[in-house]
């Protein structure tokens, strides 16, 4: 999902966080998180919810369903 990976990268950079920092918050490997950002991997639903919580956005926003 291109929109998911684009929004994920944008949110992380806006927060001033590294992929390593986010992956530690999610308790996953950095390589797994990098796949989410480059569009070659997709997180499970629990991980999407955790990511939304970290960045204080809705899962709908992350998935491109809503604009906020």
Contacts of 3 (CB under 8 A, 6+ apart): 63, 64
pLDDT digit string, tens, across residues 1-58: 799 999 999 999 999 999 999 999 999 999 999 999 999 999 999 999 999 999 999 9
- Quick one: pLDDT at residue 22? 98
Please check whether residue 67 is in contact with residue 6, taking contact to mean a CB–CB distance below 8 angstroms. Answer: no
- Domain parsing of the chain, residue ranges: 2-63
Q: Has residue 67 got a pLDDT over 90? A: no
The separation between CA 28 and the C-alpha centre of its own chain, rounded to angstroms, equals: 12
Please check whether residue 63 is in contact with residue 4, taking contact to mean a CB–CB distance below 8 angstroms. Answer: yes
- Quick one: pLDDT at residue 68? 73
CATH for the stretch 2-63: 1.10.260.40
């Amino acid at each position: 999902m291109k929109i998911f990976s684009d929004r994920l990268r944008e949110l992380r950079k806006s927060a001033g966080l590294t992929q390593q920092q986010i992956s530690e918050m999610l308790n996953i490997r950095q390589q797994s998180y990098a796949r989410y950002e480059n569009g070659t991997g997709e997180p499970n639903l629990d991980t999407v919810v955790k990511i939304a919580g970290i960045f204080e956005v809705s899962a709908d926003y992350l998935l491109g369903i809503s604009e906020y």
